[in-house]
């Protein structure tokens, strides 16, 4: 079997056991062996920088000597970092960006993080260039943090019967026609075949709502209703949010009841779906001492000045007191999971990489906390690793 017939993952695995001398010896048999065992293979690649930096990086990437390697890319991320408005746009940046994306013909995952410097891109030129570019007929996962026109151009390159997962980093209400929205581009792209999309993640934009997080819970419920209506065959949905801390919910019984009502409406929406998995992100900075105590139905100790800020909202996690916080989010995940018996999994995200999980397997249920890669399971004495 020739080396180009061996899957890329196998080449990496074989190469990990070979020293440089071994690879040189193999190269005596076939000069192409050294290339395939080289650590310079581009299975995954990230192109990132300010407009000027990314322009130079793309120039390097597009060099003809890397043409063969470009076809090996399976995972690609392009990040255009923030730059002040008064900065000059490198001449030809849009063309290089389109040319770079056009070379990634075998890629399976593409991530475009352009929203913070999109004004440096000629959107009309980008759309025209992408329309003439080769199709991404192997892309199964598309992650988009950009405006509507770039999102639409990227979606148009994908084959809908191949594309399985889409992540959008912003959301606008369906009646907010004055604001560009990636969701509208996604809905338009799938208008004739909405059943093809199986996994969707939506991140709500920064909002300043009248009653903080719990108004946002209602908005998330409305969003779930809309998404389920637009994409009736989804297997997985996750919704996130970023909200204004200064609009924190009032710490009283009526506010907590509004939160409970919002979760109930959310569960009604989920029960009208075919979803098998659901995730929701809730900002810990908008959860106060009263909400934790009310949810757990217990009085919390008051001698943890470093855990809550001056406004009594969650601040930094205290190792000992954090168990109560974990329990609160775990209880919420469990509540949603029990209320929605068709869901196999529920995840409630909080903090930077914390998640409370409820999972159902046949007639059994499990719940546990994830802190990054660490899993914490409930035991007789409470949560434990």
pLDDT of residue 222: 82
Mean pLDDT for 89-101 is 93
Higher model confidence: residue 180 or residue 240? 240
**Structural contact between residues 337 and 365, judged by C-beta atoms closer than 8 angstroms:** yes
104's tokens: 């990634």
pLDDT exceeds cutoff 80 at 311: no
Is 344 or 308 the better-scoring residue by pLDDT? 344
Question: Between these two residues, 217 and 77, which has the higher pLDDT value?
Answer: 77
Q: Percentage of the chain with pLDDT > 90?
A: 41
Residue 274's pLDDT is what? 93
What is the gyration radius of the CA atoms in the chain, in angstroms? 24
DSSP readout, 106-147?
T-SEEEEE-GGGGGGS-HHHHHHHHHTSPPBTT--EEEEES-
- Indicate if the pLDDT at residue 4 is higher than 70: no
pLDDT at residue 135, as a whole number: 94
Q: For residues 209 and 250, is the Cβ–Cβ distance under 8 A?
A: no
Among 30-44, 116-130, 318-332, the minimum mean pLDDT is found in 30-44
Spatial CA neighbour of 138 closest among 71, 64, 65, 78: 71
Give one word for 43, left, alpha or beta, with left for phi > 0 and alpha for psi -120 to 50.
Answer: alpha
Residue 314's Cβ-side half-sphere holds a number of Cα atoms within 13 Å equal to 21
118 vs 291, more confident: 118
Beta-sheet strands, E only, within the chain: 44-49, 75-80, 109-113, 141-145, 165-168, 199-207, 236-243, 277-281, 345-350, 354-361, 364-371, 374-379, 382-384
Q: Residue 240's beta-bridge partner residues?
A: 203
- Regarding predicted confidence, which is higher, 87 or 368? 368
Cα angle: 120, vertex 121, 126; to 5 degrees? 175
Sign of CA dihedral 332, 336, 337, 343: negative
117/356: higher pLDDT: 356
pLDDT of 214 reads: 58
- Evaluate whether 258 touches 214 at the Cβ level (below 8 Å): yes
- Least confident span in 7-21, 268-282, 303-317, 357-371: 303-317
Give residue 243's pLDDT: 56
Kindly tell me if the per-residue pLDDT of 34 is higher than 80: no
pLDDT digits 0-9 by tens, 192-246: 899 999 999 987 655 555 555 556 677 778 888 889 999 999 999 998 866 555 5
CA–CA separation, 232 vs 198, rounded Å? 9
Share the mean pLDDT of the chain: 79
pLDDT value at 112 more than 90 = yes
The band of 12, judged by pLDDT with boundaries at 50, 70 and 90, is low
Instruction: Report the pLDDT averaged over residues 255-280.
Output: 90
Q: Report the pLDDT value the prediction gives residue 27, as an integer from 0 to 100.
A: 47
Opening angle at CA 177, ends 172 and 183, nearest 5: 40
Pair type for strands 382-384 and 374-379? antiparallel
pLDDT score of 179 more than 90: no
pLDDT at 321: 45
Q: What is the pTM of this model?
A: 0.79
Least confident of 14-18, 73-77, 194-198, 310-314: 310-314
- pLDDT at position 19 is 64
pLDDT of residue 174: 46
Q: At 77, is the secondary structure helix, strand, or coil?
A: strand
Both tokens of 262, joined, read: 């919002």
Say if CB 246 and CB 237 are below 8 A apart.
no
Assign 355 to helix, strand or coil: strand
DSSP for 188-226, please give it: HHTTT-GGG--EEEEEEEEE--TTHHHHHHHHHHHHHHH
Q: What would the two tokens of residue 192 be?
A: 């004739």
CB 318, CB 304: distance < 8 Å:
yes
Q: Is the separation of the CB atoms in 241 and 283 below 8 Å?
A: yes
pLDDT for the residue 257: 81
Report pLDDT for 245.
Answer: 54
Of 219, 165, 355, the C-alpha closest to 279 is: 355
Mind listing the pLDDT tens digit for each residue in 138-167?
Answer: 999 999 988 888 989 999 999 999 999 999
Amino acid 6: pLDDT? 65
Q: Per-residue pLDDT for 107 more than 50? A: yes
């Amino acid at each position: 079997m020739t080396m180009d017939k061996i899957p890329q993952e196998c080449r990496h695995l074989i190469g990990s056991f070979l020293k440089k001398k071994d690879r040189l010896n193999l190269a005596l048999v076939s000069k192409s062996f050294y290339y395939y065992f080289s650590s310079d293979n581009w299975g995954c690649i990230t192109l990132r920088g300010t407009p000027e930096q990314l322009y130079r990086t793309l120039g390097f990437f597009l060099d003809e000597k890397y043409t063969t390697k470009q076809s090996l890319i399976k995972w690609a991320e392009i990040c255009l970092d923030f730059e002040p408005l008064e900065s000059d746009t490198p001449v030809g940046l849009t063309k290089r960006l389109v040319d770079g994306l056009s070379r990634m013909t075998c890629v399976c995952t593409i991530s475009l993080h352009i929203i913070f410097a999109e004004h440096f891109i000629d959107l009309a030129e980008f759309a025209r260039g992408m329309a003439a570019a080769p199709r991404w007929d192997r892309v199964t996962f598309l992650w988009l943090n950009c405006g509507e026109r770039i999102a639409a151009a990227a979606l148009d390159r994908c084959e809908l019967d191949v594309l399985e997962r889409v992540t959008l980093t912003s959301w606008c209400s369906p009646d907010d026609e004055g604001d560009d929205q990636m969701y509208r581009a996604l809905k338009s792209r799938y208008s004739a075949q909405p059943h093809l999309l199986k996994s969707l993640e939506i991140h709500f934009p920064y909002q300043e709502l009248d009653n903080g997080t719990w108004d946002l819970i209602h908005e998330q419920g409305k969003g779930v209703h809309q998404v389920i209506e637009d994409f009736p065959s989804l297997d997985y949905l996750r919704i996130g949010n970023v909200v204004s801390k200064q609009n924190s919910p009032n710490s009283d019984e009526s506010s907590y009841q509004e939160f409970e009502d919002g979760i109930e409406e959310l569960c009604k929406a989920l029960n009208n779906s075919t979803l098998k998995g659901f995730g929701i992100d809730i900002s810990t900075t908008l959860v106060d001492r009263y909400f934790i105590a009310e949810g757990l139905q217990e009085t919390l100790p008051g001698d943890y000045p470093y855990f809550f800020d001056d406004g009594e909202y969650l601040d930094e996690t205290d190792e000992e007191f954090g168990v109560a916080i974990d329990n609160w989010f775990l209880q919420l995940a469990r509540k949603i999971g029990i209320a929605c018996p068709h869901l196999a999994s529920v995840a409630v995200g909080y903090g930077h990489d914390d998640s409370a999980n409820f999972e159902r397997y046949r007639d059994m249920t499990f719940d546990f906390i994830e802190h990054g890669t660490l899993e914490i399971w409930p035991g007789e004495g409470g949560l434990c690793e």
